[in-house]
Amino acid sequence: MAFVVPAFTQQSLETNFRTTGAAVTAVFESQRAVIQLSSAVIYNGRNEIAYGTVISADGYVLTKASEVEGVGKIDVRVDKESFKDAKVVMTDTRWDVALLKIDATDLTPVVFAPDSKLPRGTWVVVNGVTSRTNRRVMAGIISADNREILPEGGAVLGVTLKETKKGLAVEEVSKDSGAEKSGLKKGDIITTIDGKPVKEVAALGKLLSKMKSGSDVKVAILRDGKKDELDVKLSARGDIFREATRNDEMSGDFSNRRSGFPRVIQHDILGASITMGGPVLDLEGRAVGMNIARANRAETFAIPVEELRELAEGMIKQVGK
Amino acid sequence: MKKPLAYFLIGAVCLAPLSAFPVNAKKAPESRADLNTMQNALLAAIPKAQAATVCIDLDDGSGSGVIVSEDGLVMTAAHVSTGVGKDVTVIMADGTKLKAETLGLDSETDAALIQITEKLPEGKPFPAVEINKTDDTKLGDWIFSLGHSGGFDKERGAVSRIGRLVRVANTTLQTDGALIGGDSGGPLFDMEGRLIGIHSRVGAVVGVNMHVPVKVFTDNWDRMLKSEFIGEGPFVKKPEIGKGFLGLATKTAKGGIEVTKLGKKSPAEEAGIKEGDLIRTLNGEKLDSRKKLQSILAELAAGDKITFEITRDGKDETINLKLGER
């Protein structure tokens, strides 16, 4: 894909003055100050694994769940301070959001913007590279209409099945799938989904095609002849059975979970997949959303502020009970 | 006394520099006011640009293009149109699918024109963007890109991205607004919404995105309008003379040649030619033998249009078709 550009009459713009260059991002200093105080950097040991959005003074931080799940020890840095052993206190798989709690008392939570009705071309500002003491920013624009991102390839349990005389037998359980988390095992015979009998792979696929990833289904099984019922969270096919397309190969680094969101805003700021979870600010420094998936080299998704606010308030309320 | 003043003002406006976008005069935006100027420019320009940005549906994928005339002329990349005289489908922003035909292309620089051949309902003019013919774009200018990234998505619409011109060469512009598959052929605009380039290709790094400057198009405009295939690649391979495919077998008969067999899904069959048809002429030349047919075909290439005059069940008919690739 790389062609050589003829050398004559060629001029080149210094990196510093490119869209993500320091000379350009300097103008976003007031938004950077908000990122400095109200975004979090999530670490596993020395590795940055995600960013986060500070939503309360007493230490609640939202981040992208699939980037922090299964990570042994999570440390969080807000502003210049480091907080050891953050706890994942709750997750919302529909939005792929995790609520972290750190031992803090006087954080500066983000201020939510009134809504996410932002026309294409509106400036937005997000986390750029970070150091121990300093957060940088990157800026870009809203690039598409807000909308639902359907699960890539439809919703799946996360198993491969074989049609047998006894019924649909589980041959293999995919790693990180809802099936695995529910405890579904190789050899289990699936008899019904939400009470509807399933005998063929095609019938099961048809049934699931009407459902959404992140929603739960009741799976009745026979294990060693005994009846049992499991709650399985559906995953997006594209997240479980990944087949790299040509565009994926062009995209370099993208989020593992990048589809199956009820609604997103889309912008053109391209951080690495580990930069998800941070706030998306407008020029007023208010959060219009939270980065949730780098879809490919030209598209990044964020949870819109309306839903983000609901998630933040709802999750804090629930863990407070 | 007021009239001369007005006259003077108009004169002054005409003397203003052509690239009127003020932030481009600075090395980088310096203030909130500059950011607002940029945002206001984008908010004003994008809706019109978006309406004119089309998806070009190909058999094995899709690209983008932009309408530049009210009668439906589309600028795109040569590697999207892939040839001269090809039938393609153009998808408008609202999802309306329209028939179109590829016109000429420059295979060396990746420029091509496509003509939408169907009309909009009630003969409405096509939404078109203005081409910046002043050639006044320069290194560091702010730009925005549109395109149907990864294919057409009505709910999403064409994807817009901001960036700067980071490299300028004779036949290539480079920007740091990221492109991906499906964007090829889509439009690159200055901040006033005037077309300055067409997306062509990307480098391995996100910041490397290449576009064909509009000057390449305007320099070759008339030749491309006349459906000329310019250059020898690398973006499109020139159809080879003698490689045109018809897909029928014939025998010499009285008054022409008779069709004895048709290839399944061949261009001949798809054009409606039937076994037993008597072909009398090809492009106006009398066919008195199979050899004559072969000698004419030897001079033609895939994509060339031909006309047969035939006789079927005593009735004369004219059949037009396009040669396939052998």
Q: What is the pLDDT of residues A74-96, one digit of tens each?
A: 999 999 999 999 999 999 989 99
Using only C-alpha atoms, chain B has a radius of gyration, in whole angstroms, of 25
Domain boundaries of chain A, sorted by first residue? 15-148+260-320, 155-235
pLDDT higher than threshold 60 for residue A1: no
User: Closest approach of chain A CAs to the CA of B78, in angstroms?
Assistant: 15
Residue B69 burial class via C-beta count within 10 angstroms: exposed 0-12, middle 13-18, buried 19 and up: middle
CATH number, domain A15-148+260-320: 2.40.10.120
Chain B residues lying within 8 Å of A137, measured CB to CB: none
Distance CA B172, CA B170 (A): 6
A4 touches chain B (CB under 8 A): no
The DSSP letter of residue A112 is B
Q: How many residues does chain A have?
A: 321
Q: Contact A141/B139, CB-based, under 8 Å?
A: no
Domain A155-235 coded CATH 2.30.42.10: yes
Span B23-80, pLDDT tens digits: 999 999 999 999 999 999 999 999 999 999 999 998 778 999 999 999 999 999 999 9
Distance CA B35, CA A284 (A): 12
% of chain B surpassing 90 pLDDT: 70
Among B42, B169, B208, the residue with its CB nearest the CB of A121 is B42
Distance CA A302, CA A313 (A): 18
User: A-contacting residues of B 18-47, CB under 8 Å?
Assistant: 27-32, 34-36, 38-39, 42-43, 45-47
A2 touches chain B (CB under 8 A): yes
CA distances B283 to B102, B239, B242, B287, Å, are: 21, 19, 16, 10
Domains and CATH numbers, chain B: 244-325 (2.30.42.10)
| The predicted structure's pLDDT at residue A164 | 87
Residue type, A275: T
Among A1, A268, A296, the residue with its CB nearest the CB of B162 is A268
Other beta carbons within 10 angstroms of residue B204's beta carbon come to: 10
The pair of three-digit structure tokens given for residue A218, joined into one six-digit string: 């009741």
Span A234-246, pLDDT tens digits: 887 777 766 556 6
| The predicted structure's pLDDT at residue A272 | 74
Span B249-308, pLDDT tens digits: 999 988 899 999 999 889 999 999 999 999 999 999 999 888 889 889 888 888 788 999
The ipTM is: 0.79
Chain A residues lying within 8 Å of B201, measured CB to CB: 1-3
Span A196-233, pLDDT tens digits: 888 888 888 888 877 777 788 999 999 998 999 999 98
A73 touches chain B (CB under 8 A): no
What's the CA dihedral at B167, B178, A123, B150 to 10 degrees? Answer: 150
Distance CA A111, CA A37 (A): 11
Q: Which one of A268, A273, A296, A301 makes the best mutation probe of the B interface by having the most chain B beta carbons within 10 Å?
A: A268
Other beta carbons within 10 angstroms of residue A200's beta carbon come to: 12
pLDDT higher than threshold 90 for residue A72: no
Q: Contact A268/B176, CB-based, under 8 Å?
A: no
CA A195-A201-A207 angle, 5° bins = 45
User: B-contacting residues of A 30-49, CB under 8 Å?
Assistant: 30
Q: Contact A298/B167, CB-based, under 8 Å?
A: no
| The predicted structure's pLDDT at residue A174 | 87
**Residue B197's pLDDT band (cuts 50, 70, 90):** very high
Span B109-126, pLDDT tens digits: 999 999 999 999 888 999
pTM: 0.80
